Amino acid sequence: MMLKLLRDPRTVARDVPGLFDAVFPQLTSSVVMHFNRKRVAADVTPVPSGLIEQREVAAEIRTGR
């Protein structure tokens, strides 16, 4: 089971002055606007939950858990 984050990491990063500038020095508003305009919708198919459960069971058997 995935743990729910208490706070969105992007919100935490916004709270730390200069963090985005240090991690992404070339990320300007014009670069972000370019990526937003060029985005393409991905054609994805969800994985059925039954397959995920089978994989988890198989992993447990292999590891002896």
At residue 41, the pLDDT reads: 84
Quick one: tokens of 60? 């447990």
Angle among Cα 6, 10, 13 to the nearest 5 degrees reads 100
- Per residue in 26-45, pLDDT (tens digit) is 878 888 888 888 888 888 88
Distance CA(60)–CA(65), nearest Å, equals 5
| Mean pLDDT over the full length of the chain | 76
38: nearest Cα among 30, 50, 27, 28: 30
pLDDT higher than threshold 70 for residue 3: no
Under a CB-based contact definition with an 8 Å cutoff, are residues 13 and 20 in contact? yes
Dihedral class, residue 64 (left if φ above 0, else alpha if ψ from -120 to 50, else beta): left
